[in-house]
Structure 1
Amino acid sequence: MCIKVLLSLRGDKGSYPLESTQDASLVATYLWNNFLGGNSTSRPLGPAVLDGIDFDIEGGSTNQHWSDLARFLKGYNGKKVYITAAPQCPFPDAWLGNALTTGLFDYVWVQFYNNPSCQYISGKINNFEDAWKKWTLHIPVKKIFLGLPASLEAAGSGFIPVDNLTSIVLPTIKGSDKYGGVMLWSRYYDVLSGYSSSIKSYV
């Protein structure tokens, strides 16, 4: 089994805007030469070649050029560049909404946590199910993953106990053609909780 390793951009800290198409082109060139299939004398990871770029955009202007960045990254010849995203579950996403409709993204792991309006709340699945349907119906992507916190401590809200996940939540969404699996935040908390080991056979 081949494990893909991607570099995640942005997160919920700091501010790193793309203010123009030229900005997007320059960033794409830097990423290609320093982390992907290009060449540079200053590659931070040495000869390692990553498989792609994950867009974890959780702030900034709503009209930035993330679609341009994805398009430039996809335009390089050579090893396939995987483009993924981790948007918040309210649909459409405030920062990646336009970019995600381009068909450039391979996988999307939607963060169904820290967003009470669309995450699963014990005994109340309707809002979660409605949000899942919007993502699967309107985003042209191969697979969509259910993003969850790996423990109570991993996020402010949205943790789903194993029993609820396996008996209620997963049976609700696994019938979708676009269902890809479960994404957990984060590996650190997963090691402490053992959450992935508990759900692996059900995913």
Structure 2
Amino acid sequence: MFFKGKSDQRPFDDVVLDGIDLDIEGGGGTGYAAFINQLRSHYNSDKSKKYYIAGAPQCPYPDSYLGAALNSAWFDMVFVQFYNNYCGVDKYPAGFNYGDWDSWAKTKSANKNVRVFIGVPGAPSAASSGYVDGTTLDTIYKAVRSNYTSLGGIMTWDVSQARTSGLAKSIRTTLNSGKACSGGGGSGGTSSSGGSSSTGGGSSTGSSESSGEESSASIMAGSASLSVTVLNLAVSLSMTGLLSYVLF
């Protein structure tokens, strides 16, 4: 339905997506590592393009539902939801816990080059709590960029509200003013050990923001920049139970 398989029901017609984003906010954490590993095997069978797997954990570390999968399966990027929680951008500097996720990226993640995005609400109405204006976000982003090498960029939920509120324009200015983030997503694989659980909660996430266009996500990998449209970047899987099949 979403990749190169055949189906009478293709939501995006003949468009082949670049990847899947797992936004899991209920139902337990069983089965997601196996799902990702199976999806990777399908990805690897098509050498015509590169495919990606992303996750959207809540900021409390470790995430209640994706914690084990984040440690044992290969994620190219994570869009951490730094809102609706005690560790959000609105709690910067004392309560904001990007450092926990940078440490995870370097010591626990199967992909030691995984990119960690700062996920924020696109407008005050986009989340129960956690919205910050463009000036505040600019300060936070530049502080993170100066101190943590895992940074991939900024994600907003959602892009339509971010454009209406003007935050998307501010984010573009912030990202265009800086240098490319070092590192990259790396190549697909699996390894490492499992994780434990924690409490999270909050609204779901979906779109990404970065330099160049308000409706695109950019991941800087050394001197190379990957830019893909939000629609083509990910299908967000928000579910309350185990996904037991792969639509490929």
What band does the TM-score fall into relative to the shorter chain?
0.7 to 0.9
Identify the range of structure 1 (72-81 vs 49-58) with the bigger mean alpha-carbon deviation: 72-81
User: In 2, distance between residues paired with 1:198 and 1:99?
Assistant: 33
**1:99 is matched with which residue?**
69
User: In 2, distance between residues paired with 1:164 and 1:45?
Assistant: 37
Q: Is residue 2:112 matched to residue 1:112?
A: no
How large is the Cα RMSD of the aligned pairs?
1.6
Q: Taking CA–CA contacts closer than 8 Å with sequence separation of 6 or more, which of the two structures ends up with the larger relative contact order?
A: 2
**2:93 is matched with which residue?**
125
**2:2 is matched with which residue?**
35
Candidates 32, 40, 43, aligned match of 1:74: 40
Amino acid at match of 1:137: S
Deviation at 1:133, TM superposition (A): 1.1
User: In 1, distance between residues paired with 2:151 and 2:162?
Assistant: 21
**2:172 is matched with which residue?**
200
Deviation at 1:119, TM superposition (A): 1.0
Amino acid at match of 2:54: T
SS in 1 for 2:89: coil
Unaligned runs of 5+ in 2: 176-248
Is the CA contact 2:159–2:168 (under 8 Å) kept in the aligned structure 1?
no
User: In 2, distance between residues paired with 1:133 and 1:57?
Assistant: 22
User: In 2, distance between residues paired with 1:108 and 1:92?
Assistant: 13
Deviation at 1:183, TM superposition (A): 0.3
Candidates 169, 186, 191, aligned match of 2:158: 186
Is the CA contact 2:53–2:76 (under 8 Å) kept in the aligned structure 1?
yes
For residues 50-90 of structure 1, give each alpha carbon's deviation from its aligned partner in whole angstroms, at most 9, with x where no partner exists: 111110001112x3211111111111110432100111000
- Equivalenced residue count is 164
User: In 2, distance between residues paired with 1:132 and 1:199?
Assistant: 18
Identical aligned residues as a percent: 37
For residues 142-163 of structure 1, give each alpha carbon's deviation from its aligned partner in whole angstroms, at most 9, with x where no partner exists: 2110000011111111011122
Deviation at 1:39, TM superposition (A): 2.5
**2:15 is matched with which residue?**
48
User: In 2, distance between residues paired with 1:156 and 1:137?
Assistant: 27
Unaligned runs of 5+ in 1: 1-33
User: In 1, distance between residues paired with 2:94 and 2:80?
Assistant: 17
**2:141 is matched with which residue?**
170
Is the CA contact 2:117–2:153 (under 8 Å) kept in the aligned structure 1?
yes
TM-score normalised by structure 2 residue count: 0.62
User: In 2, distance between residues paired with 1:188 and 1:43?
Assistant: 23
User: In 1, distance between residues paired with 2:137 and 2:6?
Assistant: 44
**1:65 is matched with which residue?**
31
**1:89 is matched with which residue?**
59
Deviation at 1:103, TM superposition (A): 4.5
